Structure 1
Amino acid sequence: MFDQLAQPLVYAESLLTRFSTLAASSNSRALQQQLVAAAADLSHCPLAQLYLLDKTQTELTLCAEWLDGEPLVRGESALPSDYKDQQLLQYCLFQNQVLHVNALDSSLYATPFLPETDRSWRSLLCLPLHDRDNHLGGLLLIAQRDAEELDAYADSLRLLGDFAMCQLQLLQRLDAEPAIAPMSEESKISHERGYGLIGESPVMQRVYRLISKVLHNPVSVMVAGETGTGKELVARAIHDYGLRRTQPFIAQNCSALPEALLESELFGYTKGAFTGATQDRLGLFDAANNGTLFLDEIGDMPLSLQAKLLRVLQEGELRPLGSNQTHKVDVRIIAASHHDLRTLVDKGQFREDLFYRLGHFPIEMPPLRERGNDIQLLATRFAEEACHFLQRDPCRWSEEALEHLAGYHFPGNVRELKGLIARALLLCDGNVLLPEHFSLPDSAQPLASRSLRERLEQVERNLLLDCLRKNQGNQTIAASELGLPRRTLLYRMQRLKINAADLRHKEKAYVQSR
């Protein structure tokens, strides 16, 4: 550890002294300052920084900084969970590896996290820090104004930093003030937008907020929602913006294969396990090792396979078909279903223990009809992508066409919208999309031809029908969900001419869309 240092014994003695100082600290904030001071002193660097992840690992905060022999106090500097524009910090966190740059050039490496001084920074060393459970907890960074080989300090400073992380875990239980300030509501919204998804409606903001909570946590996620709402996109967002982003992402639709084929596809098999098994074959769990496996339509998985999946989730080990040996795998499971799994559990069609195991963190994707102006955002984006694919000039939207789409119910959700736009572009001979290019049902009349009262009544009617359909026509439960007395609900149903036939038609259309 000390072979590359000029005076290894002197360094070792100083390092032990720093360990003793950190062990004697009784305050988490003081401990953080002592750590950066020790890192700067031991490495003879003018700068040392300590970054910590919050408990949900969705925000990285600069907690302590030491510059030119004294603590540097700056305003709160918190980075969101994707660490955008902080490539060096991002690399060290996502790869969980030591980063050493001995020829730091501002034209090649963006370093907005380093303080501005009279002389530019030329070299840095960034170390990932771990707690007693070996979970990634933060970064320790040192920087020099001259081009120097700082990697000689990597092993010793990492030991010191990991020790400090363990001490922080103990002290933070006693500290009245947490070491990392809670994320404000504004900062939450600022980093929750995106993740590769499109939408600015309040219901999508809630989805982004939930995604941000599980990006860097290994918990299983259950994505629910109607068909065509974009459940796989949520799974890909969690993978692409999380710590496993450099590892495989594999998707499998559980309803696409019969039971025997699905079992061999997921768990693999050995030579001779069945007729035609002429060689060993790895399954999708092995292929997704250290990455993410997305199991779509998990509600259609046979019960026998559900038991085998539960074993993998609980023990992290699997046994291929035809083998007597088990082996460990590290796979994050993200499942999705358009079914109500709780109902399937009550019917005995889905294992209750698997339901609770998968449902640690549910994310509900809203139907398109509840996303308001997102319909127009999605429509314009899909039109741009389709024009690019068809290699034609971009098409403009008429106001009537956008209003025409906004008044439609979209039982097939985003998938149906994308298909409608692709067809409309093929029908559009000019350069402007018009209502006649969209073959919507007759009930979806252009909003421009309706009065304000008619538009409001249509929105109210759709809302009541959706709520009644979701509750299988139970008017008492629907009234409770809508916050209305039952008599008021009956009055509005009568005024809007909603009857049992409408509910049956609505339910039939809903089932067919799935």
Structure 2
Amino acid sequence: MLAQVPQPLVYAEALLTQYATLSRTGNDSTLLSDFVRGLAELSGCELTQLYLLDATHTCLRMNAECLNGILQSREAVSLTTDYKGEQLLQFSLCQNRTVYLSELGSSLYETAFLPNLATPWQSLLCVPLVNQQAAVEGVLLCASHRPVELQGFAESLGQLGGFVLGQLRLLQGFRRPNGPAYRAPVSTPNPSVFGLIGKSLAMRRTCSLISKVLHSPYTVLLCGETGTGKEVVARAIHDGGPRRSKAFIVQNCAAFPENLLESELFGYRKGAFTGADRDRAGLFDAANGGTLLLDEIGDMPLSLQAKLLRVLQEGEIRPLGSNDTHLIDVRIIAATHRDLSALVSEGKFREDLYYRLAQFPIELPALRQREGDLLDLARHFADKACTFLKREAVQWSDAALNQLSCYPFPGNVRELKCVVERAVLLCEGDELLAEHFSLRMAAMPECNSLKLRERLKQIERGLLLDCLRKSNGNQTLAARELGLPRRTLLYRLGRLNITSGDFNA
């Protein structure tokens, strides 16, 4: 570890002195200040900085800085650094890799996080800080005006930083009276941080839940109507967490028959069945270290549910045709548009697996519940379609926007995307018009001409249809969810002329 460091014995003695000094520190802010000062002494750099992720793990903040041996005090506003906009910090943090540049002046990277001084910066070292759970919590940075060989310091400084993270957690737990407990600043995550679009209250609540589970090992169950973007959210959880540099694999449980799905997930050994002429790794092995999204989990056969439960409980799998099991490290995210609790009561889904999957459920809002997001999504899809088709961006007419605003979009975001893409293809000019959109007009209320009684009937009809679709046409479950006797539900269905074809289509 110290072979590439000049004067290894002298450096080792100085490193041990830093460990001893930091272990005796009983104050959070003093610990961080002593750490960056120690980094400067060990590396010989004029600048050292410490960045830590906030509680939501979506914002990187500079917690301490030492310049020319003097601790720097900055305004709180200038401490925040959005690591999404800083390529070097983002790469080190997201890929969990050390970044070393010996000729910083000739590079094309943005270095706005470095102090702007008369003498240019030449050497730069960014080292990710990893806690005891192997999750990246921040980045330490060393920079010099001189061309210095800093790469040899990376491993030892990274281990020292991990030690500091452990000390920080101990101080938080002990709440020592000789200093205020350090609390990571908390910020409300914006949907754009996760690559999601929308500013509605429903989406902000969803993103708040995503931020809480982002860096935890818990299994996530994504629920919601079809077309609400469950795979997009699953990818956001993967890309924003510590497994982002590993594989993200999606498997639709309804796409294969039972036998094929089992071999697809668990793999098989040569000779396990007719046609198995070689060993084949399954998706659990392919996603090892990363994330596996099991879409439409409600359609998984009961026999496979038992095997999945063991994977979740023990973290091990046994391929088809093998007598041996082996451990895997995969984060499971499950998704479904069906009511799993109803399937449990019907005996179609294992109760023990349901509670295991629902460690952290996230209900994704339907598009009609995301007030104000529809037009932002429509413009986004139109821009992406224009880019894909290599044509100039299109404008929106007021009539087209009004038509979209009045339509309920039972297919949610997926339906909106298809409608907008088709409209862009039909548009021969530079403006999207109402006639470019193929909407089912019978399902669209006349927003301006309906009187109160008609509008209430439209709302009631929509609520009943949504509930019946969610319960897959089960009127008893729909009545229970609506808080109505089944006889009352049947009366309302007859009064509104709702037939089974309306909600089973």
- Normalising by the smaller structure, the TM-score range is 0.7 to 0.9
Task: Report the alpha carbon displacement of residue 261 of structure 1 after superposing the two structures with TM.
Answer: 0.5
Report the AA paired with residue 78 of structure 1. Answer: T
Task: Report the alpha carbon displacement of residue 9 of structure 1 after superposing the two structures with TM.
Answer: 3.0
CA distance in 2, matches of 1:291, 1:341: 25
SS at match of 2:270: coil
SS at match of 2:104: coil
Task: Report the alpha carbon displacement of residue 40 of structure 1 after superposing the two structures with TM.
Answer: 0.7
CA distance in 1, matches of 2:450, 2:4: 81
CA distance in 2, matches of 1:207, 1:4: 48
Task: Report the alpha carbon displacement of residue 461 of structure 1 after superposing the two structures with TM.
Answer: 4.0
CA distance in 1, matches of 2:412, 2:454: 21
The answer for the alignment partner of 1:26 in structure 2 is 26
The 5 Å alignment of 1:191-270 reads 191-193=190-192, 195-270=194-269
The answer for the alignment partner of 1:181 in structure 2 is 184
Task: Report the alpha carbon displacement of residue 454 of structure 1 after superposing the two structures with TM.
Answer: 7.5
Q: Do the aligned residues in 2 keep the contact of 1:310 with 1:354 (CA within 8 Å)?
A: yes
Task: Report the alpha carbon displacement of residue 273 of structure 1 after superposing the two structures with TM.
Answer: 0.3
Q: Do the aligned residues in 2 keep the contact of 1:403 with 1:446 (CA within 8 Å)?
A: no
Match status 1:370 vs 2:369 = yes
The 5 Å alignment of 1:88-487 reads 88-105=88-105, 108-175=108-175, 177-184=180-187, 188-189=188-189, 191-193=190-192, 195-387=194-386, 389=388, 395-424=394-423, 432-435=432-435, 437-447=437-447, 449-450=448-449, 457=456, 460-461=459-460, 465=464, 478=482
CA distance in 1, matches of 2:130, 2:426: 58
Task: Report the alpha carbon displacement of residue 315 of structure 1 after superposing the two structures with TM.
Answer: 2.1
CA distance in 2, matches of 1:413, 1:113: 41
Q: Do the aligned residues in 2 keep the contact of 1:229 with 1:368 (CA within 8 Å)?
A: yes
Report the AA paired with residue 155 of structure 1. Answer: E
The answer for the alignment partner of 1:501 in structure 2 is 494
CA gap of 1:171–1:336, structure 2 versus 1, over 3 A, is same
Q: Do the aligned residues in 2 keep the contact of 1:400 with 1:435 (CA within 8 Å)?
A: no
- Per the normalisation by structure 1, the TM-score is 0.85
Task: Report the alpha carbon displacement of residue 221 of structure 1 after superposing the two structures with TM.
Answer: 1.4
Task: Report the alpha carbon displacement of residue 254 of structure 1 after superposing the two structures with TM.
Answer: 0.3
Q: Deviations over 1:112-135 (max 9, x none)?
A: 222233322211222222334444
CA distance in 1, matches of 2:301, 2:86: 45
CA distance in 2, matches of 1:78, 1:450: 51
How many percent identity over aligned positions?
Answer: 51
Report the AA paired with residue 498 of structure 2. Answer: H
Q: Do the aligned residues in 2 keep the contact of 1:203 with 1:371 (CA within 8 Å)?
A: yes
CA distance in 2, matches of 1:476, 1:7: 75
CA distance in 2, matches of 1:309, 1:336: 14
CA distance in 1, matches of 2:464, 2:156: 66
SS at match of 1:285: helix
The answer for the alignment partner of 1:13 in structure 2 is 13
The answer for the alignment partner of 2:61 in structure 1 is 61
Task: Report the alpha carbon displacement of residue 309 of structure 1 after superposing the two structures with TM.
Answer: 1.2
CA distance in 2, matches of 1:7, 1:195: 45
SS at match of 2:416: helix
Q: Deviations over 1:157-188 (max 9, x none)?
A: 2332222222222111123744243314xxx2
Report the AA paired with residue 315 of structure 1. Answer: E
SS at match of 1:51: strand
Task: Report the alpha carbon displacement of residue 223 of structure 1 after superposing the two structures with TM.
Answer: 0.9
SS at match of 1:276: coil
SS at match of 2:277: coil
Larger CA deviation: 301-310 vs 371-380: 371-380
CA gap of 1:310–1:58, structure 2 versus 1, over 3 A, is farther
The answer for the alignment partner of 1:78 in structure 2 is 80
Report the AA paired with residue 181 of structure 1. Answer: A
Task: Report the alpha carbon displacement of residue 24 of structure 1 after superposing the two structures with TM.
Answer: 1.4
SS at match of 1:335: strand
SS at match of 2:174: coil
Task: Report the alpha carbon displacement of residue 378 of structure 1 after superposing the two structures with TM.
Answer: 2.6
CA gap of 1:106–1:86, structure 2 versus 1, over 3 A, is farther
CA distance in 2, matches of 1:342, 1:402: 38
Report the AA paired with residue 170 of structure 1. Answer: L
In structure 2, the gaps of 5 or more residues are: none
The answer for the alignment partner of 1:41 in structure 2 is 41
Task: Report the alpha carbon displacement of residue 8 of structure 1 after superposing the two structures with TM.
Answer: 3.1
CA distance in 2, matches of 1:164, 1:390: 52
**Pairs aligned (count):** 491
Report the AA paired with residue 282 of structure 2. Answer: G
CA distance in 1, matches of 2:44, 2:321: 60
CA distance in 1, matches of 2:428, 2:138: 57
Report the AA paired with residue 286 of structure 2. Answer: A
CA distance in 2, matches of 1:66, 1:459: 64
Q: Deviations over 1:207-249 (max 9, x none)?
A: 2222233333332211111111111111122223333333222
Task: Report the alpha carbon displacement of residue 445 of structure 1 after superposing the two structures with TM.
Answer: 4.2
Report the AA paired with residue 185 of structure 2. Answer: P
SS at match of 2:323: coil
CA gap of 1:425–1:146, structure 2 versus 1, over 3 A, is closer
Q: Do the aligned residues in 2 keep the contact of 1:58 with 1:215 (CA within 8 Å)?
A: no
Task: Report the alpha carbon displacement of residue 296 of structure 1 after superposing the two structures with TM.
Answer: 0.6
Report the AA paired with residue 192 of structure 1. Answer: P
Q: Do the aligned residues in 2 keep the contact of 1:369 with 1:410 (CA within 8 Å)?
A: yes
SS at match of 1:62: strand
The answer for the alignment partner of 1:483 in structure 2 is none
Q: Do the aligned residues in 2 keep the contact of 1:192 with 1:212 (CA within 8 Å)?
A: no
- Per the normalisation by structure 2, the TM-score is 0.87
Q: Do the aligned residues in 1 keep the contact of 2:386 with 2:394 (CA within 8 Å)?
A: yes
CA distance in 1, matches of 2:318, 2:85: 43
CA distance in 2, matches of 1:419, 1:404: 15
Report the AA paired with residue 92 of structure 2. Answer: C
Q: Deviations over 1:296-331 (max 9, x none)?
A: 100110111111112222222211100112222222
Larger CA deviation: 135-144 vs 191-200: 191-200
CA gap of 1:345–1:182, structure 2 versus 1, over 3 A, is farther
Q: Do the aligned residues in 2 keep the contact of 1:435 with 1:446 (CA within 8 Å)?
A: no
Q: Do the aligned residues in 1 keep the contact of 2:215 with 2:241 (CA within 8 Å)?
A: yes
SS at match of 1:84: helix
Report the AA paired with residue 184 of structure 2. Answer: A
CA gap of 1:352–1:443, structure 2 versus 1, over 3 A, is closer
Task: Report the alpha carbon displacement of residue 363 of structure 1 after superposing the two structures with TM.
Answer: 1.6
SS at match of 1:499: helix
Please tell me the root mean square deviation across aligned C-alpha atoms, in Å. 3.1
Q: Do the aligned residues in 2 keep the contact of 1:57 with 1:217 (CA within 8 Å)?
A: no
Task: Report the alpha carbon displacement of residue 467 of structure 1 after superposing the two structures with TM.
Answer: 7.9
Report the AA paired with residue 129 of structure 2. Answer: L
Q: Do the aligned residues in 2 keep the contact of 1:270 with 1:280 (CA within 8 Å)?
A: yes
